[in-house]
């Protein structure tokens, strides 16, 4: 592969839960401005991979480099301030705080390019329902509204790179479409994306490249289009036909 500006480099990453090896020497790279998708069957280790990259989980071997610097020992909140933001599975909002306070904390995590009011106005164009619920606690929102807020927290002051874990999980078809509109917006604005997503076909549709994770190991790498065009390979690696 020709030399590229790799923003994220994961080299032979290992994670264990006691005697169980959840990740087995995983290596992947994501170039600046690229959208990369990790697909695999349930239990393949996709969420563990993102959690290890963002140092939510410790890794027992291997190395992660972000912007040409090792992340070993760097707290997750400091990685966020350096520009690597993890939007976890299960919404990723602070339930006890209001919608406005959630947005304010996300806005303040790195130097903003615009005033808070202007950033909120931009977000509310995409998610008008959040404007109606500014004073409401995030924990009282519906599941779909909490996912809106999780994405709005990323959108209000976009970092150089996003790790996004199952953003459409449990959402209605209309909300799934909205989630993918936001992901395409991030992509169009040059945000680097590493995405784990159960809607494999939609995810591969926006991917520049894709990795297939199986039993904790990366077993295939290709363009999103190539993987999408090979349903037999998808079915084999995912354990069933992709949805």
- Domains identified in the chain and CATH numbers: 1-83+160-243 (3.40.50.300), 92-158 (no CATH)
221: exposed, middle or buried (Cβ count in 10 Å: 0-12, 13-18, 19+)? middle
pLDDT mean over 118-145: 93
Tell me which of 14-23, 41-50, 90-99 is least confident: 90-99
Average pLDDT, the chain: 90
Please state the rounded mean pLDDT for residues 129-144.
93
Determine the length of the chain.
Answer: 243
CB-CB contact of 227 with 233 (8 Å):
yes
pLDDT per residue as tens digits for the range 101-117:
999 999 998 888 899 99
The per-residue pLDDT for range 170-221, each reduced to its tens digit, is: 888 988 898 899 999 999 989 999 999 988 989 999 999 999 999 999 999 9
């Amino acid at each position: 592969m020709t030399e590229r500006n790799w923003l994220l480099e994961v080299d032979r990453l290992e994670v264990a839960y006691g005697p169980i090896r959840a990740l087995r020497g995983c290596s992947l790279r994501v170039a600046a401005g690229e959208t990369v998708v990790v697909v695999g069957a349930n239990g393949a280790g996709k969420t563990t991979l993102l959690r290890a990259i963002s140092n939510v989980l410790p890794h027992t071997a291997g190395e992660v480099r972000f912007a040409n610097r090792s992340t070993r020992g760097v707290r997750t909140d400091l990685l966020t301030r350096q520009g690597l933001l993890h939007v976890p599975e299960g919404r990723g909002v602070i339930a006890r705080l209001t919608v406005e306070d959630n947005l304010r904390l996300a806005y303040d995590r790195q130097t903003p390019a615009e005033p808070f009011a202007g950033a909120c106005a931009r977000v509310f164009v995409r998610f008008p329902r959040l404007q109606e619920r500014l004073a409401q606690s995030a924990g009282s929102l519906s599941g779909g509204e909490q996912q809106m807020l999780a994405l709005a927290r990323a959108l209000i002051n976009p970092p150089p790179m996003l790790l996004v874990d199952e953003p459409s999980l449990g959402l209605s078809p209309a909300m799934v479409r909205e989630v993918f509109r936001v992901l395409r917006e991030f992509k169009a604005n040059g945000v680097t994306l590493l995405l784990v997503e159960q809607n494999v076909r939609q995810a591969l549709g926006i991917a520049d490249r894709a990795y297939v994770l199986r039993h904790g190991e990366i077993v295939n790498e290709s363009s999103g289009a190539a993987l999408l065009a090979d349903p037999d390979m998808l079915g084999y690696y995912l354990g069933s036909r992709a949805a």
